[in-house]
Structure 1
């Protein structure tokens, strides 16, 4: 596992995740309210419209009872949080921020789904699924994590090469 990185990243993970989930839930509530009359607001490549997703990503599992989706999502979220908090002292900055994004988005969608009506989605395009800010957070977190891993691997390879040349 290697030595811990100086300073625990646990507070950053917890505070950042809760903050992002809160922002997501506020924006969902505003979008739900503004788009209540069924109108669509074009914004160029994307448009705002009001819908819910009773399933998970890309509406997978939408025919399942809402409690099954909620319990499954809760288990995945609990596992993500547990692993992130245990590994927090060893996370790079990129991995820590990736965790904040993924957990914040997952937490926002989990809380939103607890009423049994599914997740509020409001960002629509004609070329991709309708989604929300939490989905953007999750996707961005995965991208940040992958890029961080690639950069870390390159950095380690360069360090190994330098050490071998000595």
Structure 2
């Protein structure tokens, strides 16, 4: 995966996230779930904290600080994307960066991250999430998979430029 492809994957991920959040903001009402299928609702919510709402009490009302902290980590992952030698690893870092950028945009634009995907079982609900969160999770899985010994032998290693 070349540098242009990394940039394209980052941009496509952030764009898909922002478009999905725009649709959620225009079609959903806060806290009013729309049933899609058993175990899955669309439910608009906002997260001022980090993943799964952690730190929301501490970071409430501090979106610029949260965006700055996330931005520093995102920059680190972007550097890792361009330095990674395996295409699968590069794609993983690009997905993480694109997802993180999508959430940073929300924090700077509206003070909190828009969440709307609600997975549940009976009365138990997983924390509501969004497309950026899916990209970050898939990216982490790609990075972990690229680090497996059997995967490392089979995948071609890219030359550093």
- The TM-score, its normalising length taken from structure 2, stands at 0.82
Q: Please give the per-residue CA displacement for 1:3-35, whole angstroms capped at 9, x wherever unaligned.
A: xxxxx6211111110111011101101011100
Distance 1:156 1:121 in 2: 35
RMSD: 2.0
Query: SS where residue 73 of structure 1 aligns?
Result: helix
Deviation per residue, 1:79-105 (Å, 9 max, x gap) = 1112322x04xx212112112211111
| Structure 1 residue 9 corresponds to structure 2 residue 7 | no
Separation in 2, partners of 1:155, 1:37: 44
List runs of 5+ in structure 1 lacking aligned partners.
1-7, 159-166
2:72 is aligned with 1:75: yes
Corresponding residue SS for 1:115 = helix
SS of match in other structure, 2:146? helix
Aligned length: 146
What's the counterpart of residue 24 of structure 1? 17
Match of 2:50 in 1: 56
Q: 2:36 aligns with which of 21, 40, 43?
A: 43
- Secondary structure of 1:130's aligned partner: coil
Query: Is this contact kept in 2: 1:61–1:69, CA < 8 A?
Result: no
Larger radius of gyration: 1
Counterpart in the other structure of 1:139? 137
Distance of aligned partners of 1:156 and 1:80 in 2 relative to their CA distance in 1, 3 Å threshold: closer
> Which residue pairs with 2:159 in the alignment?
none
1:161 matched residue in structure 2: none
| Local SS of the residue matching 2:45 | strand
